[in-house]
């Protein structure tokens, strides 16, 4: 792995663990096993490196979500697969946690990949709901955008509740509750 790759990966991990303020250039260099000048050789500084790390995290999250949302099955089954996919619930969402970071939210540039990712997931789920409505799987009165917002809120809120309680049970309960509300109507 190249030095710039090690710097990006180290920054991704540290942002997830410590947030932007807690991610010092020194900690990044130590985690990456890189020399002092290497960050500035590859990046303009911490904000530039953080942006590269956030973009990479966002791309990875979209790819993982696409793997289940664009996968096989009915619209309900694909939403279910998204909600039930393997997650490190107690660590929280690497993208969602960035919304709690005042430095990331204060920067339009750092916030953009976060917003784009959450918007992409909502749009994809809304599309599945609309597809399910045309197939008669979901009630015609459901609003795809509202259901998509509820799915994202359940996932992000589930992370918060799980971290607060130290147990994934709250996340799992939220997922089960939402899925029971979305369960396809009998034919």
Q: Yes or no: is domain 54-182 CATH 3.90.650.10?
A: no
pLDDT digits (tens, 9 = 90+) for 135-168: 999 999 999 999 999 999 999 999 999 999 999 9
Kindly state the percentage of the chain with pLDDT values over 90.
Answer: 84
CA torsion sign, 92 to 93 to 94 to 99? negative
Average pLDDT, integer, range 75-83: 97
State the pLDDT at residue 35: 87
| Neighbouring C-alpha atoms within 13 Å toward the C-beta of 2 | 7
Helix or strand (DSSP H, E) at 160: helix 144-165
Note the pTM of the prediction, 2 decimals.
Answer: 0.90
The number of beta carbons lying within 10 Å of the beta carbon of residue 177 is: 12
pLDDT digits (tens, 9 = 90+) for 98-125: 998 999 999 999 999 999 999 999 999 9
């Amino acid at each position: 792995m190249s030095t710039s790759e090690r710097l990006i990966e180290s920054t991704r991990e540290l942002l997830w663990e410590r947030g932007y303020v807690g991610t010092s250039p020194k900690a990044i260099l130590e985690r990456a096993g890189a020399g002092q000048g290497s960050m500035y050789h590859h990046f303009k500084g911490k904000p530039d490196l953080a942006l590269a790390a956030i973009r990479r995290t966002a791309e990875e999250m979209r790819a993982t979500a696409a793997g289940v949302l664009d996968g096989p099955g009915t619209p309900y089954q694909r939403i279910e697969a998204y909600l039930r996919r393997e997650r490190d619930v107690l660590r929280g969402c690497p993208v969602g946690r960035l919304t709690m970071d005042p430095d990331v939210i204060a920067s339009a540039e750092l916030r953009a990949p976060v917003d784009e990712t959450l918007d992409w997931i909502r749009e994809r789920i809304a599309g599945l709901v609309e597809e399910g409505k045309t197939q008669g799987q979901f009630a015609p009165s459901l609003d795809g955008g509202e259901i998509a917002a509820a799915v994202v809120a359940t996932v992000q809120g589930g992370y918060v509740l799980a971290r607060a309680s130290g147990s994934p049970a709250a996340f799992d309960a939220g997922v089960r509750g939402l899925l029971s509300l979305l369960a396809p109507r009998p034919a």
